[in-house]
Chains A and B, each alone.
Chain A
Amino acid sequence: MKKRRHPTRWLRYSLLTIFLALTTYLALGFGKRSFESFCPFGGMESLWGLFRVGEFSCTLGPLNLSILIGVLVLALIAKKAFCGWACPIGFLGELGARLTGLFWRRPPQPAGETDRSWRLVRYVVLVLSLYFTYKMGELILRGYDPFFLIFSGFGHGSLGIASWIVLAILIIGALIIPMFFCRYLCPLGATFDPFSRLGLIKIVRNENTCTSCNLCQKRCPQNLAPQAVVKLRHHDCTLCLECIDACPVEGALELKVTL
C-alpha cells in the first residue's frame, strides 16, 4: 500500500526557488525592470487609475496588469497554483511553516469558525489597500507590504519603525500559525478567491480507497481537509499536492479536471 515518495515537492520547490531568485535578482537592481512590476496585485491597484485617467499609479505599469490577467486565467484553470508554485512570499511563508516544527510538535491550527472568520480579514485588507490606493493615487500601503519591505530592503515608501513592527508581527505570526500571511492577510489571495472556487483542476478523493487517516490535512499548508470531501473545491487550495504526497494509499487522492 505504501507508495514511493513523490518528487512533486522537489519540483515545486525548484520552481519556487527560481522565482525567488529572479525576484531577488531584480530587487538587487540587475534587471531592466523593478521587482514590483511583476506583482499581480499591482494590476488590481492600477485598475481605478486606468479607468479614470488612463494612467497607471505610481510605479505600476502594464506588466502588473497583464500578469494579473495571466494569473486570474490560471486560477480559473488551476485554482491558486500561482500561490503554491510561483509566489515568493508564499514560498517564504512555507519555509517559515517548516521552521515552526522547531518550536511546535504540532503547530496550532485555528479550526472551524475561528479559522473561517480570520480568513475574512484578507478581504478587509483588500478593500483598504484598493481604497487608499485609488483615493491617494499612491501605493501608500507599501510600507506594510511584506513583499515590498523584504525585497526592497525597506526602500523608499517604507515607514521606518512601523514597517519593522508590521514585518515582525508577520514573521512571528508565520512561526506560530503556518502560512499566517497567506491565509489571513494576503489581498492578492482575496482577489483570487472567486476565480479559484471555479478552478477546473482539483484534488479528488476516492471514497472507496481513502482510509480517512487525516494525513492529508496534517500536511496541507492551508489546513484544508481533503479527507472530508470528494472534490476539494476550497478556494484556498494552492494545488501544492502535499496532500497527495502524504497519502499512504495509491490513488486515494488524485489530481483531476472536473467541474
Chain B
Amino acid sequence: MAILKVDHLTKTFGRFTAVDHISFELQEGEILGYLGPNGAGKTTTIQMLLGVLTPTSGEVSYFGKPLAKNRQEVMEQINFSSTYNDLPHRLTVQEIMLYTSYLYEIANRSERIQKIREVFHLHKLWHKQIKELSAGQTTRVGLAKALINYPKVLLLDEPTASLDPDVATYIRQFLLTQQEKFQVSILITSHNMAEIEELCDRVIFLNKGKIIADDTPINLAKTIQISHVTLMITDGMKRTQEICNNQKLSFKVEGRYITINLPEKQIPDFLKNILEKGIEYSEISIDKPTLEDYFLQIAEKK
C-alpha cells in the first residue's frame, strides 16, 4: 500500500525550476533513498512533503488523503529531522521533548519521553541547553524529537551527518528496527552512499529537479560498467602509468599503489598486458561499482 504518493510535484522560484514534475510512491514499511547532487531539489521536495512549502503544481497525498486538505490529520502521523534545521537553542533537551509531546498530543506522555530518552541515550544531555551541545548531539536530539509521536512516515534530511561513526551506526540500526517492528516508512536523503546501500530498499536519483533513476541500490550500481583495480606495484610504476595513459584509463597513485578505473570486461586483458611489459605487482584488489560511483557519474554530468 502506498503511504505517500507524490504526483507531478513541481516547484518554481521565478524562472528557476527547483523540482520538475516528479512522481513517486513510498510503500508501507519501505525505506526510500532520495539522492542527488547539491541543488538537485531534495530539500525542496522534503519541505513540500512537510507542507511548509507550497507546490507550484502537483499533489502530495499521505494515506490516500491530499496533504493540502488534510494537513492536521496527516501531520499527526508523520515527523521529520533535518540537519538544515535547528532546535530552540535556549531550551534544554527535556524541555524540547516536553513541548513537542504536547504539539503532537502524545497520549502516554511521560512514558514516551522516558522511552525516547533511553533509546537515544540522552540521560547526560537531558538538562543541557541545545546551545551547549555539539552538532552530533543536536542531530541526535533532532532524531529523538522526530520519533516522539510514533510516526508512520519519517522524512529524514541527512540524518546522520555530523554524527560520530558509532552513533551513526546505532541510528541506522535503530531506523531498521523501526521499519521492521512498526512498519515505519522512511524517506531519507544522505550523501553517505554506503549508508544508503545499507538502509534503503529503493533509491530515487534526482538531478536538476527531475527524477533520473528509480531502482534498488544494487541495480543502480550495476548500470555503472567501471570497476576499480588496485595494484601494489613492486616494479614498473611509471610503465603502468604509461599503459593507462595510452589506453586512456583514469587512475590514481598513492605511494606504491595504483587504482585504475576500467570496464570489468577489460580487466583480464589489462593484467595480461602489464605482465607482458614486465611489470610486477604483489597485491591486487578489484572493487565492483557501487552506488557512490553512480552518484559521482551523475555529479560529473551536472
A binds B: no
